[in-house]
Amino acid sequence: MNAPVRILPLEGLPRGAAPPSAELVVALAPFHRCTEELRALRTQLLVRWANAGVRPRLLAIVSPGAGEGRSYLAANLAVAFAQLGERTLLVDADLRAPRQHRIFRVPEGGGLSAILAGDAGPEAVQALPEYGALALLPAGAPPPNPQELLSHRALPQLLHQLRAEFDLLLFDTPPARQCADAHSVAYRAGQALMLARKDHTRLADAQRVARELTDTGARIVGSVVAAF
C-alpha cells in the first residue's frame, strides 16, 4: 500500500431513514467539499491511467469490512467520471447486500446475478442519462451461490463485451474480509482502489486485504481513508 492516501470527508453517507438518492453528493451538491475531494480523486486516477496507457479502465472499490463507504464512493465516483464525458458503467458486484439500485432509485431488474446465471442479457444494463454518460448494472436478486457466480467464466466473457462499450467500469464489492467475492472481482478488473474508514477499519485488516489482492494479480492504484 505505497500509493498516496486521500482522506475524504464522506458527510453525505445516509443515517437512519435518509432518502437513498441523497448519497449522490456529486450530482446534488456540486460545490460541496466532498464533491471537490471526489473530483480530485477522479483527477488522480485519470492521470495515473493516462501515464500508464491504461484503456479501457476497470476498477474495483474494495475495503475490509462493512460500513466503510464502498457503495457511496463507487456511486459518486461513477457520477463524477460520467459528468466528464467518460462512458462509465457502474457494476454492483455485491451480490450479497446490493445497494446501488436503491442509491439510484432504479428497478433491481435481472441484474448481474441473472446475467451470470444465464437468465438475462445486456438489457439488464440501465442507462442513467440524467447523470451524464452513466449506466448502471444492478446486482439483481441475491443468488444462493454468489462466489460461484463471480468465479464462473461468464464474468470475464461479460466484461469482454462491456469493455468495448464503455471507457470505464467501476465495481462495487462486498466486504473483502467477510467473503472472497471482492477478490474475484478485483482479479477480473485487474485494478483496485482500497478504502478504509477512519477510526473504524483496523490497519491490520486493510494491510491483509491489500496483500491478498496483490496476490491475485490485481494492482492497487491508490488508497482512500473515509471520515464520517
Residues in the chain: 228
Q: Which of 92, 88, 119 is nearest to 107 (CA)?
A: 92
Q: Is a pLDDT exceeding 90 seen at residue 70? A: yes
pLDDT value of position 201: 96
Distance (Å, whole) CA 12 – CA 72 = 8
Q: Is a pLDDT exceeding 80 seen at residue 192? A: yes
pLDDT value of position 24: 94
For residue 193, the SS3 value is strand
pLDDT (mean) for 152-162? 94
Q: What is the pLDDT of residues 108-150, one digit of tens each?
A: 878 999 999 999 988 899 999 999 999 999 999 999 999 999 9
pLDDT value of position 101: 95
Question: How many other C-beta atoms lie within 10 A of the C-beta of residue 142?
Answer: 14
List Cβ neighbours of 194 (8 Å cut-off, separation of 6 or more): 1, 62, 63, 206, 209, 210, 213, 220, 222, 223, 224
Report cis status (omega within 30 of 0) of the bond before 56.
yes
pLDDT (mean) for 19-33? 85
The CATH number of 5-9+28-197+210-226 is 3.40.50.300
Residue 213 contacts residue 186 (beta carbons within 8 Å): yes
The set of cell numbers assigned to 61 is: 472499490
pLDDT value of position 4: 39
Going by pLDDT thresholds of 50, 70 and 90, the confidence category of residue 63 is: very high
The set of cell numbers assigned to 172 is: 462495487
Q: Greater confidence, 18 or 107? A: 107
pLDDT (mean) for 191-205? 96
pLDDT value of position 41: 97
pLDDT value of position 17: 33
pLDDT value of position 110: 86
Q: What is the pTM of this model?
A: 0.90
Q: What percent of the chain has a predicted confidence (pLDDT) above 90?
A: 83
